[in-house]
Amino acid sequence: MNRFSRQVNVVVIYILVSVVVGSYIYEVFGNKNPCLQCFLQRFAMLSVAAGFFLNVRCGIRLGHYAVSYFSALFGGTVSLRQMLANYCATTPSLLPELGIPLYTWALIVFASTVLGISILLFLTRPQEVDTPAAKTPLWEKLGILYLIVVIVMNVYSAYSLCGLGIVCR
Amino acid sequence: MVLGLFAVLLVAILLILMRLRVVGTALLLANLVFALGLFVYNILSATLP
């Protein structure tokens, strides 16, 4: 069962990082600079992926799921706040995809993540001590590399748009 | 500030890659709490006069 959970963890890393890459593509090709809350949502998504990365790298533990869970709740809160702020706004929402704005998509992703973590927690037995695999498969290594590359891209993006301050251009 | 969030996340990931699990996890959690503080500050600065 742990092997199955481990593979699900890697798949979730790929999915979450791809969502962040999607927003990055919007930023580059749509010439839309992300706001502070958009950065916080990206950060939360990458932190969720980091929790799953901990499971892949160091073995499956409940504490690692707690990191992802906390990150997903935080990201969901930020998305919900942005959704409510735009709900009352007179201007139309920016960047709708399939008729739904990006922050609503982000909320859907975070809610799905919470659901997914709950299912994975059902499969985890706390009395089992899971040891990390002796040899990491190639697709897991690629997933980890994918995560690191996207974090580096976001470091660059945050530096170019916000500098060292809190206000983003 | 925002830069720091992503930079510390990167450092935490690298620490975990070097098998420093406890330090990396602690850094991840501290970073999340910092992000939460940034979010609360963002709300308060938008609502308070």
Q: DSSP string of A92-136?
A: PPSSEETTEEHHHHHHHHHHHHHHHHHHHHHH--TTS-PPPPSS-
On whether any CB of chain B is under 8 Å from the CB of A148, the answer is: yes
Domain chopping of chain A, boundaries: 2-162
Model pLDDT, residue A94: 58
Model pLDDT, residue A91: 59
Model pLDDT, residue A45: 93
**A105-154, pLDDT tens digit by residue?**
899 999 999 999 999 888 877 666 566 666 778 888 899 899 999 999 98
CA distance A96 to chain B (A): 24
Model pLDDT, residue A15: 93
On whether any CB of chain B is under 8 Å from the CB of A83, the answer is: no
Q: pTM (2 decimals)?
A: 0.88
* CA–CA–CA angle A66, A46, A122 (5° rounding): 35
The Cα–Cα gap between A57 and B18 comes to: 10
Class in CATH terms, A2-162: mainly alpha
Task: Among B9, B29, B38, select the one facing A40 at the smallest CB separation.
Answer: B38
CA distance A17 to chain B (A): 14
Looking at residue A144, its amino acid is I
Residues in chain A with pLDDT values less than 70? 1, 89-98, 126-134, 167-169
Chain A residues within 8 A of B7 when measuring between CB atoms: 155
Q: How many CB atoms lie within 10 A of CB A76?
A: 20
Q: Does B41 sit within 8 Å of A166, measured CB to CB? A: yes
CA-nearest residue to A163 within chain B is B3
Residues 6+ apart with CB under 8 A from A169: A33, A161, A162
Q: Does B10 sit within 8 Å of A64, measured CB to CB? A: no
ipTM above 0.85, yes or no: yes
* Radius of gyration of chain B, Cα coordinates, nearest whole angstrom: 13
**A97: its two tokens:** 């995809």
**B1-15, pLDDT tens digit by residue?**
788 888 999 999 999
Mean pLDDT of chain B: 87
